[in-house]
Amino acid sequence: MENTAVKTPPVTSVPFMSAAELLDTWQGHRRLSRRVLEAFPEDQLTTFSIGGMRPYSQLAIEMIALAAGGIEGVATSNWDAAGRLFALNGRETPVTRQELLDLWDQITEQINTLWPQIPATRFHEKEMAFGQYEGVIYSSILYLIDNEIHHRGQGYVYLRALGIEPPPFWDRQ
Amino acid sequence: MENTAVKTPPVTSVPFMSAAELLDTWQGHRRLSRRVLEAFPEDQLTTFSIGGMRPYSQLAIEMIALAAGGIEGVATSNWDAAGRLFALNGRETPVTRQELLDLWDQITEQINTLWPQIPATRFHEKEMAFGQYEGVIYSSILYLIDNEIHHRGQGYVYLRALGIEPPPFWDRQ
């Protein structure tokens, strides 16, 4: 006997969120991360450290390099340019807060420009992100965001240790 | 003249990831967070602090309370029970690392049990999470995970300050 009841799809197969929602989420995090960078005192940005960790300028450069290279590689499948941007990550020269904020804003625009150009089938392609990290594209994008949240959270500790109240975590506007 | 070309959907309307992929991602983060908790020295867990921040035991309790209450509220739409679990958050009594790890494992199982029971339409319902945070369910779930990454990143600074090498961030197995 055939079961003619309408089947409800199992929750596991339904979309969790759309590409547009992911972009909103990402840019919300970027707005908060920008405020954390802005709150960081210029004279501590390239020097202050806890437990031998990198100063916040280096963490911010990592965020910038990963986002810039990541969106480029995801949108174009060309991870060479991404690798070039990623190499910023190793940049050791001191940078000013304003230089970092300007780079930040440039990448924010770049993400908004490239996002609609991502092929609709792209999020479930398997690829070596940055030519070296094997993964499905959606998980590589999540990794960029997770890495930003992770290092930004460390920035909160640096700010607290410097006696500065960080921007509220829940505010993404 | 009618355009008969097959239309490619704009990238913004396509799913970014499925519910099953989100569960995998969440549990991957939980495995890493569990290792950070395990790496924390028992004698510093409830006392060590930087810049007046909460000790790691309190951050871990917040992660546990949010995850436990969150999955309950998402799966059942009953945020009363969630609120009760959330109230653990304010718990001030000292706890041992093993108690926290046991609670952690209990919630991990709870998430795996309740996840397949989430109605397929649920992720885009608007609701007051924990009876107080207005949002669409997918974004409330992301918030739980983001909050865990944020505080875990702070735990990395605590560990480094204590001279302990934290578990690698990229490893989610």
Q: Please check whether residue A1 lies inside any domain of the structure.
A: no
Section A115-138 average pLDDT:
92
Residue B5 predicted with pLDDT over 80 = no
Give burial (CB, 10 Å; 0-12/13-18/19+) of B167: middle
Domains: count for chain B: 1
Q: How far apart are CA A73 and CA A47, in angstroms?
A: 32
Domain that holds residue B94: 18-161
Q: What DSSP string runs through A14-51? A: SEEEEHHHHHHHHHHHHHHHHHHHHHS-HHHHTT--ST
Q: How far apart are CA B134 and CA A164, in angstroms?
A: 29
pLDDT of residue A32: 98
Give the A window 54-113 contacts with B, CB below 8 Å: none
Measured between beta carbons, which residues in chain B are less than 8 angstroms from residue A154?
Answer: 153-154, 156-157
Q: At what angle do helices B137-161 and B19-39 cross, to 10 degrees?
A: 20
pLDDT digit string, tens, across residues B39-86? 999 999 999 999 999 999 999 989 998 999 999 999 999 887 666 665
**In whole numbers, what is the pLDDT of chain B averaged over residues?**
89
Q: Which amino acid is residue A78, in one-letter code?
A: N
Q: Is some CB atom of chain A closer than 8 A to the CB atom of B48? A: no
**Residue pointed to by tokens 């020269």:** A93
- With CB atoms and an 8 Å threshold, state whether A123 touches B18: no
pLDDT bin (cut points 50, 70, 90) of residue B2 is very low
- In this complex, which of A11, A23, A152 lies closest to B19 when CB atoms are compared? A11
Q: Please check whether residue B2 lies inside any domain of the structure.
A: no
**Structure tokens given for A58:** 């280096």
Chain A residue with Cα closest to B156: A154
Q: Is some CB atom of chain B closer than 8 A to the CB atom of A168? A: no
Q: Which of A70, A59, A40 is nearest to A151 (CA)?
A: A59
Q: Please check whether residue B8 lies inside any domain of the structure.
A: no
Q: Please check whether residue A172 lies inside any domain of the structure.
A: no
Q: Please check whether residue A22 lies inside any domain of the structure.
A: yes
pLDDT digit string, tens, across residues B9-18? 556 679 999 9
- Beta bridge partners, A135, equal A127
pLDDT digit string, tens, across residues A98-119? 989 998 999 999 999 999 999 9
pLDDT bin (cut points 50, 70, 90) of residue B125 is very high
Q: Please check whether residue B173 lies inside any domain of the structure.
A: no
Q: How far apart are CA A155 and CA A49, in angstroms?
A: 10
Q: Please check whether residue A102 lies inside any domain of the structure.
A: yes
- In this complex, which of B116, B150, B151 lies closest to A10 when CB atoms are compared? B116
Give the A window 135-164 contacts with B, CB below 8 Å: 138-139, 141-143, 146-147, 149-154, 156-163
B40: CATH: 1.20.120.450
Residue A88 predicted with pLDDT over 90 = no
Q: Please check whether residue B85 lies inside any domain of the structure.
A: yes
**Structure tokens given for B16:** 């970014």
Chain A residue with Cα closest to B112: A12
* Assembly ipTM: 0.91
**Residue pointed to by tokens 């865990």:** B148
List the alpha helices (DSSP H) in A87-136: 97-114
pLDDT of residue A35: 98
Residue A2 predicted with pLDDT over 60 = no
Measured between beta carbons, which residues in chain B are less than 8 angstroms from residue A151?
Answer: 153
Segment A71-78 long-range contacts (CB within 8 Å, at least 24 positions apart): A71/A107, A71/A110, A71/A111, A71/A114, A71/A115, A72/A110, A72/A114, A73/A129, A73/A130, A74/A114, A74/A118, A74/A122, A74/A137, A74/A140, A74/A141, A75/A114, A75/A115, A75/A117, A75/A118, A76/A114, A77/A127
Residue A160 main-chain phi, psi, to 5 deg:
-60, -45
- With CB atoms and an 8 Å threshold, state whether A156 touches B154: yes
Give the B window 106-135 contacts with A, CB below 8 Å: 115-120, 122-123, 133
Chain B residue with Cα closest to A159: B51
Please say whether the beta carbons of B159 and B40 come within 8 A.
yes
Give the minimum alpha-carbon distance from A53 to chain B in angstroms, rounded to a whole number.
7
SS3 B126: strand
Give the minimum alpha-carbon distance from B115 to chain A in angstroms, rounded to a whole number.
8
pLDDT of residue B132: 85
pLDDT bin (cut points 50, 70, 90) of residue B3 is very low
pLDDT of residue B8: 56
